[in-house]
A and B are shown apart, each in its own frame.
Chain A
Amino acid sequence: MIPAISLIRVCRTIRASIIHRTGGSTRPRLPAGGALIGMAAVAGVAAVDVGAFGYAGGWLRPDALTPSRFADGFEQVYGRHDGFRRNHAKGLSATGSFASNGAGAAVCKAAVFSAGTVPVIGRFSLSGGLPDQPDKPDTVRGLALAFLLPNGQQWRTAMINLPVFPDSTPEGFYERLLASKPLPATSQPDPQKMEAFLVRHPETAEAMKIIKQSPPSPGFSDSTFHGLNAFHATNDKGVTVAIRWTAVPLQTGQPGVPGASAGRDYLFDALIRAVSRAPLAWRLVLTIGAHEDPTDDATKPWPDSRPTIDAGTISIGAVQTEAAGNARDINFDPLVLPDGIAASDDPLLSARSAVYARSFNRRAEEPKRPSEVNVSEVRDER
């Protein structure tokens, strides 16, 4: 719009000055000096506009980490895979419900915590940008959920099976992403790069120690999924506390998760078989932070002694191959929150929201290919 307005002014001024110089009319004339000043003023305003745009848009700041460059980073490391998420690309859609027992209402007035049941759309995933990567036990697993509240609000959360997040800032995450790019020769990250990264980011080194202490469970269905970022919960009395949440599996020691030799998608296949036998359930546990607990650093665990609330049961009754209209097309933006839950000062939250939106926009415009995990293929094998 600014260029349009400026263009009109320039046109008018140029025309006026041409007419003046050529004397091509008997109309009153603009003085040449005035026309030049006008043109200079318009050009000045236009230059400031363009400069401000260039700066704000990041084009004049090649080193600035923007959501686009973040998404580019995933494409550099994993390649570009049209139609898929830039991270957690391999996944499976799920549906179920959340049966709230009402206990969560003590700290949070969101309708999701009143006693009752709400539908849930979920997505199980593996971290990384490869949509067809082979399942491996130590690849980070994700469970994303969208709770569909009766008042039309939604609560979306994307959780992973790590007890803390490896990074405290988006910049750290981005650096680690680039440092973790596998070398063609070894298909492993460059050890020197990773070492140098950990020296620069002691918070990640600390987090890695904690992560090593809780090795992953055999499969998806017995994984504990952590929200990791802190949020602020407000109850109906107006009292606000810091919370983190965790989905704790009710099924443990599941049969039927064979070793990695059982196939490229063995983790997902076991999940599909488990859901076809019986719904899978997780308790939704809210942990209440104390005043001194960090809300802006997802690498730091809160003490085990913090009070928790068992808010109810997440039940996954069906899974679906990713397709139009199911979880494939949901952006699990962690800032889609119902009244009663608000973002904390954790810098990862706004960055996740911004980069997820960029990733979503990109894949929405791209052609789609079928997802690697295919429910009907697994069912046919049985």
Chain B
Amino acid sequence: MSANTGARFTLLSRLLHWSMAVMVIAQLLIGVTMVASLSYYPLLLAIHRPLGVAILVFAVVRLVNRLTHHPPPFLATMGPLERRVATWSERLLYVLLLAQPLVG
């Protein structure tokens, strides 16, 4: 985060964040490639399923981590509306990270 705030996300939070970012983005590309490919469909499906389960497991760990750790405060430059958008978009993100692997 910015240099004028000393607080940082914990190492675990950062690891969860970036590993899940890679997994989710890869999963989306795998998913969209899979349904459009005649030759790679079975291979990608064989990756898509376990990766989805892994994302679900990570999302649960991440949720537990989020509920047991306070993240750093919002940036001082953020207004009340921005803070509300940030809070609710974070909640929405958690819902989606948990719901998407469940519905496949």
Q: Which residues of A contact B (CB under 8 A)?
A: 1-2, 4-5, 7-8, 11-12, 15-16, 19, 25, 27-30, 49, 52-53, 56-58, 64-68, 70, 170, 335, 343, 347, 349-351, 353-355, 357-358
**Contact indicator A351/B96 (Cβ below 8 Å):** no
**Contact indicator A170/B92 (Cβ below 8 Å):** no
**Contact indicator B29/A53 (Cβ below 8 Å):** yes
Residues of A within 8 A of B12 (CB): none
**Nearest CB to that of A54 among chain B residues?**
B32
Q: Measured between C-beta atoms, what is the minimum distance from B4 to chain A in Å?
A: 8
**Contact indicator A56/B77 (Cβ below 8 Å):** no
Task: Please tell me which one of the listed residues A11, A49, A350 contacts residue B38 in the complex, with CB atoms under 8 A apart.
Answer: A350
Residues of B within 8 A of A67 (CB): 35-38, 41
Interface membership of B9, Cβ < 8 A: no
**Contact indicator A350/B89 (Cβ below 8 Å):** no
A-B contact pairs, 20 of them (CB 8 A): A1-B100, A2-B28, A8-B85, A15-B85, A19-B77, A27-B77, A27-B78, A28-B76, A53-B28, A53-B29, A67-B36, A68-B36, A347-B38, A350-B39, A350-B41, A350-B42, A351-B38, A353-B42, A357-B41, A358-B35
**Nearest CB to that of A357 among chain B residues?**
B41
**Contact indicator B85/A11 (Cβ below 8 Å):** yes
Interface membership of B57, Cβ < 8 A: no
Q: Measured between C-beta atoms, what is the minimum distance from A231 to chain B in Å?
A: 13
Q: A53 CA to B29 CA in the complex, in Å?
A: 7
Interface membership of B73, Cβ < 8 A: no
Q: List the 8 closest A-B pairs by CB distance, nearest first.
A: A354-B41, A58-B36, A351-B38, A56-B33, A66-B36, A57-B32, A8-B89, A56-B32
Task: Please tell me which one of the listed residues A4, A53, A57, A355 contacts residue B96 in the complex, with CB atoms under 8 A apart.
Answer: A4
**Contact indicator B42/A57 (Cβ below 8 Å):** no
10 further contact pairs, Cβ within 8 A, besides A1-B93, A12-B85: A4-B89, A11-B89, A12-B82, A16-B77, A28-B77, A57-B35, A65-B38, A70-B38, A350-B41, A354-B42
Q: A40 CA to B1 CA in the complex, in Å?
A: 19
What is the interface of chain B mostly: helix, strand, loop, or mixed?
helix
Q: Which residues of B contact A (CB under 8 A)?
A: 4, 24-25, 28-29, 32-33, 35-43, 76-79, 81-82, 85-86, 89, 92-93, 96-97, 100
**Nearest CB to that of A11 among chain B residues?**
B85
**Contact indicator B79/A19 (Cβ below 8 Å):** yes
Given contacts A16-B77, A25-B79, A27-B77, contact A2 B25 (CB under 8 A): yes
Q: Measured between C-beta atoms, what is the minimum distance from A109 to chain B in Å?
A: 20
Residues of B within 8 A of A358 (CB): 35
Residues of B within 8 A of A65 (CB): 38
Residues of B within 8 A of A68 (CB): 35-36
Q: A66 CA to B39 CA in the complex, in Å?
A: 9
**Nearest CB to that of A20 among chain B residues?**
B77
Q: A70 CA to B38 CA in the complex, in Å?
A: 9
Q: A16 CA to B79 CA in the complex, in Å?
A: 8
Residues of B within 8 A of A56 (CB): 29, 32-33, 36
Residues of B within 8 A of A52 (CB): 29
Residues of A within 8 A of B96 (CB): 1, 4
Q: A343 CA to B36 CA in the complex, in Å?
A: 20
**Nearest CB to that of B93 among chain A residues?**
A4
**Contact indicator B81/A15 (Cβ below 8 Å):** yes
**Nearest CB to that of A1 among chain B residues?**
B24
Residues of A within 8 A of B92 (CB): 4
Task: Please tell me which one of the listed residues A15, A16, A353 contacts residue B41 in the complex, with CB atoms under 8 A apart.
Answer: A353
Given contacts A12-B78, A25-B79, contact A355 B29 (CB under 8 A): no
Q: A2 CA to B26 CA in the complex, in Å?
A: 11
Residues of B within 8 A of A66 (CB): 35-38
Q: Measured between C-beta atoms, what is the minimum distance from A5 to chain B in Å?
A: 7
**Contact indicator A5/B38 (Cβ below 8 Å):** no
